[in-house]
Amino acid sequence: MKIAIYGYGNIGRGVECAARQNPDMTLTGVYTRRDPAQVQTKTGVTVYPASEILKHKDEIDVLLICGGSATDLPELTPMLARDFNVVDSFDTHARIPEHFASVDAAARAGGHTALISGGWDPGLFSLARLYSNAILPQGSDYTFWGRGVSQGHSDAIRRIPGVLDARQYTVPIPEALEAVRSGASPVLTTRQKHRRECYVVAAQGADKAEIEKAIKTMPNYFDEYDTTVTFITMEEMKRDHSELPHGGFVIRSGPSGLEGEHRHTIEFRLTLDSNPEFTALTLVALARAVGKHAARGDWGCKTVFDLAPAELSPLSGEELRAHLL
């Protein structure tokens, strides 16, 4: 299967690496809206101007669109789904129905298959929610994120005057996790589920007390959480906080038996050293499934909910039944 990357940021670079772990995939190019001469890939794969992508249709079975959900993907995915089978990682949960509708219309019009929201949340976490809801119809759902870097919260801190750089870690609270795992179906407030750890480099002469107050009282981002703020040097930031780890937990618990006398807990957990590289590995596996749907003429927009698990694997049905079932 020939795949290509549209947009060469953290996830694009992750797809470039992920393709090398999948021998049935060939990465045929990176397409960028920047000047290709300025883009240095990790593996030497050719960089083309995005404007010329239609000339390369024959070299692309599935195109992985690696852009931001705020402004890039709502525009790019419908545009490209008309001419290519595509995969994206659109992650603005509230706007998924709208994105689905526009991508679906474009893919059907062009006779292509698209998959949206194919990362880990939405994506693998959504699968955990769906399977566990189908099996425990009367249960309660919990999602915990972290320990991991939230880019949105880090950006919010960077916008405070006097802040040179910042990194925010979302941290699940162990007591809340244990209460959920016990099957007790606790009611938990925002503050009880997660805390927020902030590492901040302040400008020389900046009022650190003011910065700390500005962070801790910031509406929506921090005011409903227990937040710690630690001031560090730029050197410490580079040395200790240059990675993008993340992960989390999806847990559902619910009863069985005539009177609900037994309880069950289903837990799905991810511990990721690199959020963008893991997202990229997921997108590549989903691209394999999209290629299979496209090959049999099953056009339109899909989500992880619509793909049979076997379609994500390079193995045959016989191999899967013999070795993984």
The one among 87, 278, 290, 299 contacting its own copies by CB under 8 A: 278
**Whole-number Å distance between alpha carbons of 89 and 79:** 15
Q: Judged by CB under 8 A, does residue 282 bind its own copies? A: yes
Q: Name residues contacting its own copies, limited to 69-108 (CB under 8 A).
A: 93, 96-97, 100
Stretch that binds its own copies, among 10-18, 167-175, 190-198, 227-235 (CB under 8 A): 10-18
Considering the complex, state which of residue 7 and residue 276 has its C-beta at the smaller distance from its own copies: 276
- Rounded to the nearest whole angstrom, what is the least distance from the CB of residue 28 to its own copies in the complex? 18
The full DSSP string for 150-196 is -HHHHHHHHTSTTEEEEEEEEEE-HHHHHHHHTT------HHHHEEE
Considering the complex, state which of residue 201 and residue 250 has its C-beta at the smaller distance from its own copies: 250
The one among 265, 290, 291, 294 contacting its own copies by CB under 8 A: 265
Residue 148 to residues 42, 51, 116, Cα–Cα distance (Å): 25, 36, 23
The one among 112, 167, 241, 288 contacting its own copies by CB under 8 A: 288
Q: Classify strands 148-149 and 163-172 as parallel, antiparallel or unpaired.
A: antiparallel
Q: Can the peptide bond before residue 122 be classed as cis, meaning omega within 30 degrees of 0? A: yes
Stretch that binds its own copies, among 147-155, 168-176, 200-208, 300-308 (CB under 8 A): 300-308
Stretch that binds its own copies, among 69-77, 190-198, 213-221, 315-323 (CB under 8 A): 315-323
Q: Name residues contacting its own copies, limited to 126-165 (CB under 8 A).
A: 126-131, 133-138
Q: Judged by CB under 8 A, does residue 26 bind its own copies? A: no
Q: 247-263: string of b/e by CB count within 10 Å (b at 16+)? A: bbbbbbbbbeeeeeeeb
- Rounded to the nearest whole angstrom, what is the least distance from the CB of residue 54 to its own copies in the complex? 30
> ∠ at Cα 248 (142, 224), nearest 5°?
65
Q: Is 101 helix (H, G, I), strand (E, B) or coil?
A: helix
- Rounded to the nearest whole angstrom, what is the least distance from the CB of residue 151 to its own copies in the complex? 17
**Whole-number Å distance between alpha carbons of 151 and 228:** 17
Q: Name residues contacting its own copies, limited to 36-55 (CB under 8 A).
A: 42-43
Q: Judged by CB under 8 A, does residue 22 bind its own copies? A: yes
**Whole-number Å distance between alpha carbons of 139 and 225:** 26
Q: Judged by CB under 8 A, does residue 270 bind its own copies? A: yes
The one among 35, 58, 235, 318 contacting its own copies by CB under 8 A: 318
Q: Judged by CB under 8 A, does residue 4 bind its own copies? A: no
Q: Judged by CB under 8 A, does residue 248 bind its own copies? A: no
Q: Judged by CB under 8 A, does residue 272 bind its own copies? A: yes
- Rounded to the nearest whole angstrom, what is the least distance from the CB of residue 184 to its own copies in the complex? 12
Tokens 């880990």 locate to: 120
Identify the CA nearest to 116 among candidates 83, 93, 89, 76. 89
Q: Is 220 helix (H, G, I), strand (E, B) or coil?
A: coil
Amino acid at 256: S
Q: Judged by CB under 8 A, does residue 185 bind its own copies? A: no
